[in-house]
Amino acid sequence: MRTTSDLHRYAGAHARTRAVLATLLGHPGLEALVSYPSAAAVYEALLRTPYGVGLTGTNPDTPRLERRLVAVGNTLLGLLADPERAFVRLYLLHHEVDNLKLVIRAIHNRRGFDGIAPLLCELGAIATIDPRALAEAHDLRELAQRLTNTPYGEALRAALHRLDEAGPFALEVAVELDYYDRLWSAIDTLATSDAAPARRLLGTLFDILNLNWIAGYRDVLGLSPEEILNYTLRHGRWITAPLRRGLAEDGSRSWEGPLARTPYASLLAAAAADGFDAVAAGLWRLLAHEVQRTLSGYPFHIGVLLGCLLAQEIEIRDLQVLLAAKRLGLPNTEVLDHVASVRH
Amino acid sequence: MLSPEPMRHVSVVVLSADLERTTRAIARIGVLHLLNVRDSVETLAAIRPYDVSERLAQVERLARAVSALQRYFELAPPEAVDAEVEGGGLDLADVERRVASITLEVDALRQQQTRAADDCEQLRKLSRNLRVLAPLGLPLGELRRLRYVFLTSGLLPERNLPRLRDSLARLPHLIVPISGVAADARLLLVVVCLRAGQETLERALRSAQFERLELPAHLSGTAENAIADVDAQLRAARDLLAGFDTEKAAAARRLAPELRTLRGLVERERVLVAARGFMGQSERISLVSGWVPAVVAPPLEYAIRDATAGRCVVQWQDPAAVDGVRRGHIPVPILLHNPVWIRPFEHVLRGYGMPRYGEVDPTPVVALAFLAMFGFMFGDVGQGAVLFAIGYFIYRRMFRYRDYALILMECGVSAVAFGFLYGSIFGVEHWLPALWLRPLEDMTTLMQTAIVFGMSLLSLGLLLNVVNAVRRRDPEALWERNGVLAAMAYWIAVGLVIRRLTAGPGAVTLGATTLWLAAPMLLILLKDPVRALWRGRRQGQRPGLGELFVLVVQSLVEVVDTVVSSISNTATFIRLAAFALSHAGLFLATFSVADAVARAGGGPVGVGIVLVVGNAVIIGLEGLIVSIQTVRLEYYEFFSKFYSGGGEEYRPLRLAEPQARGV
């Protein structure tokens, strides 16, 4: 019975997901791109891939790779019904949160919309806010006013009182944490068979985000443990509150000890010596493996769709890394170390 | 009708000093479809396109600024723009200065407003904080003098409470929610810890977005006592804020007309600057080129000469004389010219693409066929009248949808006409005599008529394909798919069918049918190989046997395709009869339900409700389905015979959209 219902809900989306996965460049594609001599040549080559449609007419220095993700997301959304549709849409809106953070910076630094336009992710029909209109706000208080009746209004208003003391950072963190809290809560709206894979994949993603943030807050900004705990996500797969506290309070800046019982310990073993950024690709690779495992199991649940979108996002991240590495002139062998896509 | 408006190409050379005046004159008369000099000028190497990017950016910036001012004053939405306003001699620099001056004035007012609003907000918060603390009955001074305990109160987003508890896990503390969730999803809390842990607690509270209830040092006594004072200050601050609101409203009234004018001027400039991007210039002269409906060529020339005081060269050409048109890289724009009652059906055409210049404009045929098919499937006097009434209502009340209203009214008339032919009024068939037939009683005639209609429409499509080929002087197209040979084969087949229907089954034998159809089929089969041989002979390079074999196989496929598609294209028109029957069948179902309701004691009211709802459902559902089927038959069966679309629509340079179309 369950299978029949799942089949009914996911047959179309599953078929389309398989088609989308077939268009990913994958590790071989990335290896081929690495062999191109320059970032411009990689960009030219990308024009002949499924990314080409979105890239046409864009600036090679700020390629709009995410247009492919939005196109894929739109296609999948068209094949789903609520609550799955609402959930996948909410997941895609993490790009909108990034857009909103850019708008906050633009208003705070008085850069205007033109200053951030090349960096914004164009979400089309998925979007719930219009960054251009928002960027015209006179100040951040007006922005909060304009965001009334949007999902971001409440969080932004509640953080406004910290503007003078903490600057736009307070607003960015508030909006971001609120979004991820809502996303995690939205899992409860899904059927049980969907909730488990969603928690597994998003939990891993939340872990990675937390680890990245902790690295920044602790090692770069030197924030106190209680601040770190308040600026990170409460949910995740392996990273629990005691673990977050352990990491935040660890004066030796080690990762291995506090994370000993998680799969991240071995991945971050070299972080203390080489720096977190040098090993961060390993975390995304772990997520890519998780995605692959989800995609190869029982096919009729939301995990397959989330996995497809995550795989697309990981590949976009890899392409951005690759283009940046080419611009910096890094050797090809070194570039592949920072790539997260896994061999199929 | 049947042909798009004849166009003429115009090239205008003016002194660069006169270009602005000329452009304004052209835009004012609004008939020139601009052609980009990048496409049209190849021989004049000295002419280069205008670079308008900077100017356009300036105009966009100004448009945004004016729009922001209009938004601040909550004036009419920016899209309601009249680009033909009179600016009283203002140019763009004047507009920029004026916008800057108004922005300065507005900024000052806005700052005062913001300050007053901030004061209000502070006092409102203070009043709220005091009300929160009042029930505790503690003297405010004492709260500030606690030595061993640190106590603070404030608001925390409800969602952050678990996060705050996590972060304070190692610090002895007490969190006491004072009341339920506040209006903005925040909790009112009192948080207490030992003085030694104050710093840690404050850090944790801050990072959890805790908003402390600030109490100014000058407040003394209990919170209860201070409330009256603070409320009085709050009332004064609100009065001040209201004063600024009144000032803003007055400024809005004063500046609204000017802002509308400025917005119009900016929009006008945007149109003109964008138009400039299509033009070219050399050191002293500028070039404008484009397309004009032949009938309005003289007024345009007069306007240009008038604007330049005769200092211009205006050169006219027919489309056939334009090199780019001959070589196929410059399209001639299409201006359809149809009577008012047919014009709404141009939307059907646009849905498929505009015809190319020189081709037949099939809008009249589309309109007539649409109405005939709609009426055929939806024939009913009563429901037709309802459709007409709905169309009329939309026409009178919602002018922007007038095209669709006209289509609805015309479909209503057609349904009424067919209703009389079927003798049906709201499905009742004994009130009116059937002037032709009753669909459910004479299905054979209905189906035969549908097929004959389909044959006629397809024949017309094939004929139009030949006419288009001749008009385009494209002899190749005559022999392509749906060309002369396919038309010949189709008409022979139609003739044989008619003969069989009129003279009886024995009149047309299988042998005669084969013989008649063999000739065109054989020609279709051989045309490609023969053409290849003929072309090879002219070029002195004979095609190989393999190539000829491939061509024969291709032609064979074409023959099969022609036969199959002709049969299926014709047979599909039987749906006209099927939907006419389904329309009558739905009435039957409605009456059956009404009878059942009457038998069940539903009374006249129940029966009436069933009949009204049934008719409404038929009008809505069947009307929609019939429209879709009609469009489908036009697009897939009729258009596929002759129409390729791909033409460019005529879009003249204009300062404002005219209320009524036509030039």
Structure tokens at A332: 């090809």
Instruction: Please say whether the beta carbons of B357 and B334 come within 8 A.
Output: yes
Residue type, B468: N
Q: Does B358 touch chain A (CB under 8 A)?
A: no
Query: Is there a contact between B432 and B425 (Cβ–Cβ < 8 Å)?
Result: yes
| pLDDT for residue A149 | 85
Among residues B487, B524, B455, B451, the alpha carbon closest in space to that of B642 is found at B487
Structure tokens at B37: 């000099």
Smallest CA–CA distance, residue B263 to chain A, in Å, is: 17
Which residues of chain A lie closer than 8 angstroms to B160, CB-CB? 177, 230
For chain B positions 263-282, those within 8 Å of chain A (CB to CB) are none
Could you tell me the maximum CA-CA distance found in chain B, to the nearest angstrom? 120
- Chains A and B form CB pairs within 8 A to the count of 68
- pTM for the full predicted model: 0.57
Using the Cβ of B158 and the Cβ atoms of chain A, whether some distance falls under 8 Å is answered with no
Q: Give me the half-sphere count of Cα atoms (radius 13 Å) on the Cβ side of residue B163.
A: 27
Which value, to the nearest 10 degrees, does the dihedral of the CA atoms of residues A216, A221, A224, A226 take? -50
Q: Got the DSSP string for B15-81?
A: EGGGHHHHHHHHHHHT--EE--HHHH-SS-TT-EE---HHHHHHHHHHHHHHHHHHHHTT-S-TT--
Residue type present at position B299: P
- Strand residue runs (E) in B89-246: 149-157, 173-181, 186-194, 211-212
The predicted structure's pLDDT at residue B49: 83
CB contact under 8 A, B207 and A155: no
| Lowest-confidence segment of A250-264, B256-270, B602-616 by average pLDDT | A250-264
Helix A302-328 and helix A66-78, axial crossing angle in degrees, nearest 10: 170
Q: Each residue of B230-240: pLDDT tens digit?
A: 888 899 999 99
**Interface TM-score (ipTM) > 0.95:** no
* Nearest Cβ partner for A158 among B184, B206, B207: B184
Chain B CB contacts of A206 under 8 Å are: none
Write out the H or E segment, with its range, that includes residue A250: none
The pLDDT tens digits for B404-453 are 999 999 999 999 999 999 999 998 888 899 999 999 888 889 999 999 99
Of residues B132 and B588, the one with the higher pLDDT is B588
Pairwise CA distance, residues B545 & B533, whole Å: 11
Q: What is the pLDDT of residue A58?
A: 65
> Using one digit for the tens of pLDDT, what is the confidence trace for B357-370?
888 899 999 999 99
Please report residues of A whose CB lies closer than 8 A to that of B185.
Answer: 154, 158
- Report chain A residues whose CB lies below 8 A from the CB of B206: 162, 165-166, 227
Judged by CB atoms closer than 8 Å, whether chains meet at A241 and B184 is answered as no
- Separation of alpha carbons B337 and B340, rounded Å: 9
Q: How far is A154 from chain B (nearest CA, A)?
A: 7
**Best interface-test mutation with B: which of A140, A226, A239, A244 has the largest number of B CBs within 10 A?**
A226
Note whether B205 and B191 are within 8 A (CB). yes
Interface membership of B186 toward A (CB under 8 Å): yes
| pLDDT number for residue A1 | 45
Tell me if chain A has a CB within 8 Å of the CB of B166.
Answer: yes
Assign A8 a pLDDT band (cuts: 50, 70, 90). Answer: low
How many helices (H) and strands (E) are present in chain A, helices listed first?
A: 21, 0
What digits encode the pLDDT tens for the residues A86-124?
A: 899 999 999 999 999 999 998 988 888 888 888 888 888
Mean local confidence (pLDDT), B76-91: 56
Nearest CA in chain A to B122: A161
Nearest CA of chain A to the CA of B156: how many Å? 8
pLDDT in tens, A50-77: 887 777 666 666 677 888 888 888 888 8
Q: Taking CB atoms and an 8 Å cutoff, what residues of chain B touch A141?
A: 114
Structure confidence by residue, pLDDT tens digits, B312-364: 999 999 998 888 888 778 889 999 989 999 999 998 888 888 888 888 899 99
Q: Which residue has the higher pLDDT, B193 or B389?
A: B389
pLDDT digits (tens, 9 = 90+) for B107-142: 999 899 989 998 898 888 788 777 777 776 767 777
**Longest pairwise C-alpha distance within chain A:** 58
On whether any CB of chain A is under 8 Å from the CB of B165, the answer is no
Tell me if chain A has a CB within 8 Å of the CB of B163: yes
Cβ distance B374 to B411 under 8 Å?
yes
In order of start, what are the domains of chain B with their CATH numbers? 1-50+277-335 (3.30.70.120), 53-128+225-272 (1.20.1460.20), 138-221 (3.30.70.2750), 339-442+574-644 (no CATH)
Cα–Cα dist B439/B372, whole Å: 16
**Nearest-CA distance A184 → chain B (Å):** 12
At A127, the pLDDT band (50, 70, 90 cuts) reads confident
